[in-house]
Amino acid sequence: MNPLLQFDSLTRAAPPPAPLHLAIGMFDGVHLGHQSVIEAAIHSARRDGGLAGVLTFWPHPSALFRPKNPTRLLMPPEMKRAVLARLGLDFIIEQEFTREFAAVDAREFVALLQRSLPALAAVYVGENWRFGRDRAGDVAVLIEEARRAGVAVFSAPRLNHNGAPISSSRIRELLAAGALAEANALLGYAYFAAGVVERGRQLGRTLGFPTLNLAWAPEFQPGHGVYAVEVPTGPGRPLRGVANYGLRPTVGAATQPRLEVHLLDASPLDYGAKITVNWLHFLRPESKFANVGELRAQIARDRENALKFFEKCPAK
Amino acid sequence: MSLMPPREMEGVLLVDKPRGLTSHDVVHHLRRKLSMRKIGHAGTLDPMATGVLVMLIGKATRISQYLMSVDKVYEGEATLGVITDSSDAEGEVMETRPVPELAEATVRAAMNAFLGDQYQVPPMHSAIKIGGVPLYKLARKGEEVEREPRFIRVAAFDLLAFTPPRLTFRLACSKGTYVRTVAADLGQKLGCGAHLSALRRTGSGKFTIDQCLPLDQIEALPLPEIERRLIPIYEAAPRVAL
């Protein structure tokens, strides 16, 4: 497989000469619905010997339109890039969503794409995708303009899960409520945190439960609580762990939630290590304990519950 | 004597429709063969077309809307240079034009332009009703009315053989796609016009032509044999949700 080519704007995009199959969208979370759009592009590209790419945006358009209350992204660009890379794409274009870009007339959008990507063969979008100034462009407009320009359009229907459409906002609600299993089902993979291991306050160590402290500050914050997690460390079995995400109210509340991982397996990891923490199972919400002794007892129970979880569904 | 009423057959029967019969003719044949009334089909094939006709027997008629809405695959033959009023071989020839020298690559490129989502204007010679009147009745009177373009998707449009003026193709498309309109539009794109001279449906959703039995063979089977061929409703219904 070729490495993923990255471009930081449409104007600087220069994929190799081949018919281009381009999936377009915000794709926050890259959930199953997004994956169906992107996989259609990959499938067609493999079929006609072309290249499959994604055109995506940052920040979220709401940052422009309602700056006081923007949509909190499930994933920062580098996490989104990591998930997209796993899908088998050839290139990705991360276009800054500027005022100028937002002002492009919907009727001009396909021409704008073609100026940067003359070999554009087809575009792939979700059926509810909107684009252009005032969100005036929908799939019908796209079909009209693209066909005139000789570009094919493939719109993917929204996917349902348990009778309701899969959406990034539904996943946010589930994560906020600690409904991790269902959020993971809609994502099609385990929700994860990625960051560098930092020196913490050494509190866990004194409690008898040393933890890895992760520098991780996502825009959207999942529900505070305790989770069973795994930390992949290259090929082979990932390390199993119990993670606390929250303000640590018992030992002096922090102002920003932190992610701390207590590993159940012997760990070769040290400060400065770049790790990914896959969230597998919600154990309990965060709560404040009367004293450190109660907290220590609860952590021991969390450890047991996590071990029970891993016994039932062993880490891959 | 049993007090129970005789149990009616139910399920999906996959028929390879012969040329020359309407889809309803097939319904009629099966009603006679199975001595029951509740029989329908999931998606009309024109009389000239052959291939997969999904027949719904008994209670299976209830899932007709699910089975009708699936994607279809066709193999067809277009004849270039001959334009008919109905866009197929049943119609009257309106115009003949010389077929230019066409490279296969040119034809393939023209076919590629049909891929993807699009809006298709249904032909005047179709059973679509406007104001309660089927279009073909208006067409026979020589009238032409404005038709609402309909959303369709072409997932694949492949050239299988090109021996001018004949061109055979495979078309994978969404429900409601008029293949003869695609053939006529392709002819127009190539500059000489065309009509659809043969059509065979090779797939309807997950059902394929090799699962189908020709109608005359089905009619020759004893009833228990036919019953054994029925696909149960729960297997035939598509997965509606994940």
Looking at residue A36, its pLDDT comes to 95
C-alpha–C-alpha distance, residues A210 and A270, integer Å: 12
Write out chain A residues lying below 8 Å of B174, CB-based. none
Identify which of A122, A152, A161 has the shortest CB distance to residue B242: A161
Are A154 and B116 a contacting pair at CB < 8 A?
yes
Spell out the residues 6+ positions from residue A4 whose beta carbon is closer than 8 angstroms to its own. Answer: A81, A84, A85, A89, A90, A91, A92
CA distance B28 to chain A (A): 37
What does the DSSP assignment read for B178-218?
-HHHHHHHHHHHTTS-EEEEEEEEEEETTEEGGG-EEHHHH
C-alpha–C-alpha distance, residues A293 and A158, integer Å: 50
Q: What is the mean pLDDT of each run of 10 residues along chain A (316 residues)?
A: 85 94 97 96 93 96 92 92 93 96 96 97 96 95 95 94 93 96 96 91 76 91 96 90 89 82 88 93 93 90 95 70
C-alpha–C-alpha distance, residues A187 and B29, integer Å: 50
Ramachandran region of residue B132, left (φ > 0), alpha (ψ -120 to 50) or beta?
A: left
Looking at residue A291, its pLDDT comes to 87
- Output the pTM of the full model: 0.84
Write out chain A residues lying below 8 Å of B117, CB-based. 139, 143, 152-155
Looking at residue B115, its pLDDT comes to 95
Closest among B174, B191, B175 to B83, alpha carbons compared:
B191
In degrees rounded to 5, what are phi and psi of residue B156?
A: -155, 140
Residue of chain B whose alpha carbon sits nearest to that of A163 = B241
Write out chain B residues lying below 8 Å of A150, CB-based. 113
Are A162 and B115 a contacting pair at CB < 8 A?
no
Q: Is B25 a catalytic residue?
A: no
Residue from A44, A125, A182 whose CB has the most chain B CBs within 10 Å, to mutate: A44
Looking at residue A253, its pLDDT comes to 67
C-alpha–C-alpha distance, residues B214 and B202, integer Å: 13
Residue of chain A whose alpha carbon sits nearest to that of B118 = A143
Handedness of CA B98, B102, B106, B112 (dihedral sign): positive
Q: Are A197 and A233 in contact (CB under 8 A)?
A: no
Q: What is the DSSP letter of B85?
A: T
The answer to whether residue A141 neighbours chain B at the CB level (below 8 Å) is: no
Looking at residue B2, its pLDDT comes to 59
Are A153 and B118 a contacting pair at CB < 8 A?
yes
Interhelix angle B179-189/B104-112, rounded to 10 degrees, is 130
* Least confident span in A208-217, B24-33, B94-103, B106-115: A208-217
Handedness of CA A99, A103, A152, B42 (dihedral sign): positive
Looking at residue B5, its pLDDT comes to 64
Looking at residue B241, its pLDDT comes to 34
Are B241 and A155 a contacting pair at CB < 8 A?
no
**pLDDT at B242 exceeding the cut of 50:** no
Residue B38, CA distances (Å) to A242, A277, B10 in order: 60, 58, 9
Residue A272, CA distances (Å) to A33, A198, A214, A238, B149 in order: 35, 6, 10, 19, 60
User: Residue B240: which pLDDT band, with cuts at 50, 70 and 90?
Assistant: low
Letter string b/e over residues A179-193, b meaning 16 or more CB atoms within 10 A of that residue's CB: bbebbbbbbbebbbb
Spell out the residues 6+ positions from residue A92 whose beta carbon is closer than 8 angstroms to its own. Answer: A4, A5, A6, A7, A53, A54, A56, A81, A84, A85
ipTM of predicted complex: 0.74
Per-residue pLDDT of A81-92, as tens digits, reads 999 999 999 999
Instruction: Kindly calculate the radius of gyration of chain B based on its CA atoms and give it in whole angstroms.
Output: 20
Looking at residue B236, its pLDDT comes to 86
The answer to whether residue B220 neighbours chain A at the CB level (below 8 Å) is: no
What stretch(es) of chain B map to CATH 3.30.2350.10? 11-69+206-236, 72-120+152-204
Spell out the residues 6+ positions from residue B58 whose beta carbon is closer than 8 angstroms to its own. Answer: B8, B9, B10, B11, B36, B38, B39
Instruction: Kindly calculate the radius of gyration of chain A based on its CA atoms and give it in whole angstroms.
Output: 22
Residue A232, CA distances (Å) to A175, A197, A236, B53 in order: 22, 14, 8, 51
Are A161 and B241 a contacting pair at CB < 8 A?
yes
Per-residue pLDDT of B166-210, as tens digits, reads 999 999 999 999 999 999 999 999 999 999 999 999 999 999 999
User: How far, in whole angstroms, is CA A10 from its chain's centroid?
Assistant: 22
Residue of chain B whose alpha carbon sits nearest to that of A160 = B241
The answer to whether residue A156 neighbours chain B at the CB level (below 8 Å) is: no
Name the CA dihedral angle for A272, A275, A280, A281, rounded to a multiple of 10 degrees: 10
Beta strands in B58-115, from DSSP E residues, in sequence order: 72-80, 82-84, 93-96
Please give the CATH number for the structural domain made up of B11-69+206-236: 3.30.2350.10
* Least confident span in A20-34, B144-158, B228-242: B228-242
Q: What is the DSSP letter of B124?
A: S
CA distance A1 to chain B (A): 25
Write out chain B residues lying below 8 Å of A143, CB-based. 116-119
Provide the CATH topology of domain A172-312: Elongation Factor Tu (Ef-tu); domain 3 (2.40.30)
Closest among B231, B88, B104, B222 to B158, alpha carbons compared:
B104
Q: Residue length, chain B?
A: 242
Closest among B135, B175, B131, B171 to B151, alpha carbons compared:
B175
C-alpha–C-alpha distance, residues A40 and A210, integer Å: 45
Looking at residue B4, its pLDDT comes to 65
Spell out the residues 6+ positions from residue B202 whose beta carbon is closer than 8 angstroms to its own. Answer: B51, B52, B73, B74, B75, B170, B208, B209
Write out chain B residues lying below 8 Å of A162, CB-based. 241
Please give the CATH number for the structural domain made up of B72-120+152-204: 3.30.2350.10
C-alpha–C-alpha distance, residues A255 and A46, integer Å: 49
Average pLDDT of the residues in B147-159: 94
**pLDDT at B130 exceeding the cut of 90:** no
Interhelix angle A180-187/A168-176, rounded to 10 degrees, is 160
B16, B25, B46, B88: which is the annotated catalytic residue? B46
Which architecture, in CATH terms, is A5-159? 3-Layer(aba) Sandwich (3.40)
Looking at residue B159, its pLDDT comes to 98
Identify which of A32, A140, A152 has the shortest CB distance to residue B115: A152
CA contacts within 13 A on the Cβ side of B144: 5
**pLDDT at B43 exceeding the cut of 60:** yes
**pLDDT at B18 exceeding the cut of 90:** yes
C-alpha–C-alpha distance, residues B60 and B74, integer Å: 24
Domain boundaries, chain A: 5-159, 172-312
Q: Which of residues 94-153 of B touch A (CB under 8 A)?
A: 112-113, 115-119, 153
